Chain A
Amino acid sequence: MTLFKVSVHIVPRKGLLDPQGKAVAEALHTLGFATVGDVHVGRHLIIETKAADAAGAEAAVRDMCGRLLANPVTEDYEIASVVSA
């Protein structure tokens, strides 16, 4: 078993109203970042977990996302990286 560090991005589902993202986008426009389009605010989790290999660590974190870390009704997630810790 090796210790892995798995990074997950959890973001509001596309098409759902994201008032936090909208507020940040408006603030960026106010600051003069005229090129900014949509902004989405989500969560970034870094999970340390032991697994036989990287694929096993990723599978475990996907299971965690399905059951607790992301809301299946309103959020999507993606595994950003899996590295041995």
Chain B
Amino acid sequence: MKVGVVTFPGSNCDEDAVFAIVEHLHEEAFLLWHKEHDLKGADVIILPGGFSYGDYLRAGAIARFSPIMQEVVAHAKRGGPVIGICNGFQIACEAGLLPGALLRNVGLQFRAIPVTLKVENTDTVFTRAATKGALLTMPIAHGDGRYTADDETIARLEGEGRVVFRYVDAQGTATAAANPNGAMHNIAGVTNKTGTVVGLMPHPERALEPLLGSTDGLVLFQSLLAGVNA
């Protein structure tokens, strides 16, 4: 399996994503500069965290027009797996790969804290090795993470089970107190219709080592292999 990680100007979690794949999955991973026009044979694309284009205009708004995004969108349309993490989630929404948008956190603060997530959907390429209802701990680090969509879209996502992760408390309940940014329905991550594109605000690539407080992010990457071996 080959994993391509896109580096936009201002990406800062791209090396961490490559590290996750190489060190923890023992698979091939490489960086793809945003000006490139080809994915170099990547089977899976990671849109990493960071502050592409300084978040100018809106987070992710300018990165979606980077040359490589045409290829990423075409890859996704062919059914190729794509995961957008944090800024990558914002870019995926701006590019129309996922519905909705990520707005300024409700408390206006940049929040960098560990959060508890409930796995709501295990029919995606990135969660099929996870257990439905499992609680995962991962860090968030964002100022614009408030998932927002119109009522019809939210109803459709809920109806089709396309909410993948939800912010919950230690008991697994989606409370207002457990919601770090005011996201509608405590939504932390969503998927497309086919479960091949996933976006989430928390950082699974920062939750892979006991030293960093959690290894719960591993299951997202292991899910990729679960498909290959199946």
Contact = CB atoms under 8 A, between A and B. Distances in A.
Interface of A: 12, 16-17, 19-20, 23, 43, 68-69, 71, 73-74
A20 B108 contact: yes
Interface of B: 57-58, 61-62, 65, 93-94, 99-101, 103-108, 146, 148-150, 182
A19 B107 CA distance: 7
B208 to A, nearest CB: 32
B101 A19 contact: no
Given A20-B104, A73-B100, 11 more contacts: A12-B103, A16-B148, A17-B106, A17-B146, A19-B106, A68-B61, A68-B65, A71-B94, A71-B101, A73-B148, A74-B101
A23 B104 CA distance: 12
Contacts of A43: 57
A10 to B, nearest CB: 9
Closest 8 pairs (CB-CB, A-B): A73-B101, A74-B101, A19-B106, A19-B108, A71-B101, A74-B148, A71-B58, A19-B104
